[in-house]
Amino acid sequence: MRPDEHERVILELETLIQETQATIDQAEARGLDKAMPADYAYLLDILDKAVKQQREHTLAMLKDDN
């Protein structure tokens, strides 16, 4: 991938991360983390994977710049 493609993916992942975090915050505020633990765990998994993918693309973009 070219650096600009990595950057586009990074920005899209950032949107996903922010939206997922907002959903997690809302779920916790409403007690859904305890009422629906499997769904809550799924949200945490989505967040974890998005952060890891964003990190991978950031490192790849930085490597391509060198």
Global pTM exceeds 0.85: yes
pLDDT mean across residues, the chain: 95
Asked if 50 contacts 20 with a C-beta cutoff of 8 angstroms, the reply is yes
In 3D, which of 13, 6, 15 has the Cα closest to residue 58?
A: 6
Asked if 21 contacts 1 with a C-beta cutoff of 8 angstroms, the reply is no
Q: In this model, does residue 29 exceed pLDDT 70?
A: yes
Number of folded domains in the chain? 1
Average pLDDT over residues 26-33: 97
At 31-56, the pLDDT tens digits run 999 999 999 999 999 999 999 999 99
Rounded CA-CA distance 21/2 in Å is: 28
The residue segments making up the domain with residue 59 are 3-65
Q: Which two tokens stand for residue 33?
A: 């983390």
